[in-house]
Amino acid sequence: MARDSTRSVHGTEELDKLTGSVLAPIYQTVTFGFKKADEVAKAVTGESGDFVYTRWDNPTTRILEKKLADLEGAADCAFFSSGMAAISTAVLANVKKGDHVLATRDLYGEAYRLIHDVLPGFGVSTTLVDTDDLRAMEQHVRKNTRVVYTETPTNPTLKLVDIRGAAKIARSVKAKLIVDNTFSSPIGQQPLKLGADIVVHAATKYLSGHSDVMAGAAAGRKEDIDRIRRMRKVLGGTLDPHAAFLVIRGIKTLAIRMQKHNDTAAALAAFLESHSKVKRVNYPGLESHPQHALAKRQMKGCGGMLSFELKGSIKDAMHFTESLKVATLGASLGAVETLVVQPATMTHTQLTPGDRRRTGISDTLIRVSVGIEDAEDLIDDFEQALAKVRVGPA
Ligand SMILES: *Cc1c(COP(=O)(O)O)cnc(C)c1O
């Protein structure tokens, strides 16, 4: 049962003990009843392991949590109502007033806001360093750094963080290294095996894979996940049991989807790199990627996310995105359908133009979440949309 697809389909799941149901039952209930009063006491303290109240724990969600823990090589996992619920709860479970958080600069928008804007208001100081610069991380880590937070590959420029290197730096001050593994999924890379302490996910994306459910997760050692669960009880970002069922169903095809995402993205990246109206392509699987060697070391597959810069103006790039017919112009990623965004006008408008330039987000950068359509159809679609763009000044 060791391989990716078998684990995605079966993993830790068992036939339902009561009925033999092949799929996880949906325990769509808020609360659980008891026959004896002393059973309640034992359940509330956690002594018996019985379920009490769904904000704390739910049997369907538990089945999902074991399944993702298995895929990430984690002892335990906690699920949440969104990726941001998972990220904020995992970070807040590990910091208090007077602590320091060190993070890489290229982060998902709201994760950036949490670390850059929200934490300092609670007395937690934060430092952001360039994503591909381990030396800066080494320089800025402090004795009171409790969390090193990072994301790899990054959104939307597909830079990589050396997880092994970051783990060593975090360990040197006994901080927890938290890695957002949304872009790779556990099929593409397993940060815990590379030394991370906690992996977080927007399960809204690849894990679910069908743009139909919001969910998030944190996975890691038992004591770390216990602490995060206690914080989840307080903050309340628990996953609904029906949504848990949808994520379980999504994960069943995770490995086969990721293979297709990898292959199609590689084909589209190669096509774009050879096109005269494209200035550059960011995809870790391309030999031209500055960290291609690191990608080969720490990733099993390079995933379905890529971005590229068009020659021309911001208007040309907008015109290109409007001209696509198979791909859809829209936020989100990691699903079966191909989605494109222009970060400068859509997802990264909160950054100043200077900050955007600094992180490599030019006006004509286009991020593509490559779906599982046929590569030939996607290439044809991008080709016809590129044909509609005039060749602007390089
Ligand atoms: C989407 C996303 C998130 C946030 O997930 P939500 O489910 O939208 O809250 C966090 N990190 C990354 C890398 C994402 O792509």
Give the other-Cβ count within 10 Å of 374's Cβ.
12
- Specify whether 133 is catalytic: no
Whether 264 lines ligand 1, by a CB cut-off of 6 Å, is: no
Final residue in a domain of this structure, among 251, 277, 292: 251
Q: How far is the CA of 201 from the centre of ligand 1 (A)?
A: 7
Asked whether residue 30 falls in the same domain as residue 142, the answer is: yes
Q: Above 70 in pLDDT, residue 393? A: no
Whether 106 lines ligand 1, by a CB cut-off of 6 Å, is: no
Asked whether residue 304 falls in the same domain as residue 204, the answer is: no
User: In this structure, which residue's CA is closest to atom 2 in ligand 1?
Assistant: 202
Q: What percent of the chain has pLDDT over 90?
A: 92
- Catalytic position from the list 67, 99, 105, 108: 108
From 80, 82, 84, mutation site for ligand 1 pocket: most ligand atoms within 8 A of C-beta: 84
221: left (phi over 0), alpha (psi -120 to 50) or beta: beta
Whether 88 lines ligand 1, by a CB cut-off of 6 Å, is: no
Final residue in a domain of this structure, among 251, 277, 294: 251
Quick one: pLDDT at residue 392? 55
Whether 107 lines ligand 1, by a CB cut-off of 6 Å, is: no
Asked whether residue 270 falls in the same domain as residue 187, the answer is: no
Asked whether residue 10 falls in the same domain as residue 86, the answer is: yes
- Catalytic position from the list 205, 229, 252, 277: 205
Asked whether residue 48 falls in the same domain as residue 166, the answer is: yes
- Catalytic position from the list 16, 42, 53, 55: 55
Asked whether residue 55 falls in the same domain as residue 135, the answer is: yes
Asked whether residue 66 falls in the same domain as residue 155, the answer is: yes
Q: Above 50 in pLDDT, residue 394? A: no
CATH of the domain at 89: 3.40.640.10
Write out the DSSP string of 351-366. S-HHHHHHTT--TTEE
394 domain-assigned = no
341 domain-assigned = yes
Asked whether residue 262 falls in the same domain as residue 244, the answer is: no
Q: How far is the CA of 85 from the centre of ligand 1 (A)?
A: 9
Cβ atoms of 270 and 286 within 8 Å: the answer is yes
209 domain-assigned = yes
Q: Can you tell me which atom of ligand 1 is nearest the CA of 84?
A: 9
Final residue in a domain of this structure, among 199, 227, 251: 251
Whether 216 lines ligand 1, by a CB cut-off of 6 Å, is: yes
- Specify whether 180 is catalytic: yes
Q: Above 90 in pLDDT, residue 131? A: no
- Specify whether 356 is catalytic: no
Query: Residue written as tokens 């679910």?
Result: 208
Q: How far is the CA of 30 from the centre of ligand 1 (A)?
A: 26
140 domain-assigned = yes
Q: How far is the CA of 108 from the centre of ligand 1 (A)?
A: 7
Whether 154 lines ligand 1, by a CB cut-off of 6 Å, is: no
173 domain-assigned = yes
CATH of the domain at 340: 3.90.1150.10
Reported as a single tens digit per residue, the pLDDT across 275-311 is 999 999 999 999 999 999 999 999 999 999 999 999 9
Q: How far is the CA of 331 from the centre of ligand 1 (A)?
A: 11
Whether 82 lines ligand 1, by a CB cut-off of 6 Å, is: yes
Q: Above 90 in pLDDT, residue 102? A: yes
300 domain-assigned = yes
189 domain-assigned = yes
**How many structural domains is the chain composed of?**
2
Asked whether residue 233 falls in the same domain as residue 302, the answer is: no
Average pLDDT over residues 330-344: 95
CA distances to 75, 323, 392 from 384, rounded to whole Å, are 48, 8, 17
How many angstroms separate the CA atoms of 77 and 285, rounded? Answer: 29
Asked whether residue 10 falls in the same domain as residue 106, the answer is: yes
How many angstroms separate the CA atoms of 195 and 379, rounded? Answer: 38
Asked whether residue 147 falls in the same domain as residue 10, the answer is: yes
Q: Above 80 in pLDDT, residue 323? A: yes
Global pTM value: 0.96
Angle formed by the axes of helices 314-323 and 375-387, to 10°?
Answer: 130
Give the residue numbers spanning the domain of 313: 254-387
Q: Can you tell me which atom of ligand 1 is nearest the CA of 86?
A: 9
Give the other-Cβ count within 10 Å of 330's Cβ.
15
Asked whether residue 247 falls in the same domain as residue 262, the answer is: no
392 domain-assigned = no
- Catalytic position from the list 70, 76, 180, 381: 180
Least confident of 12-21, 187-196, 309-318, 383-392: 383-392
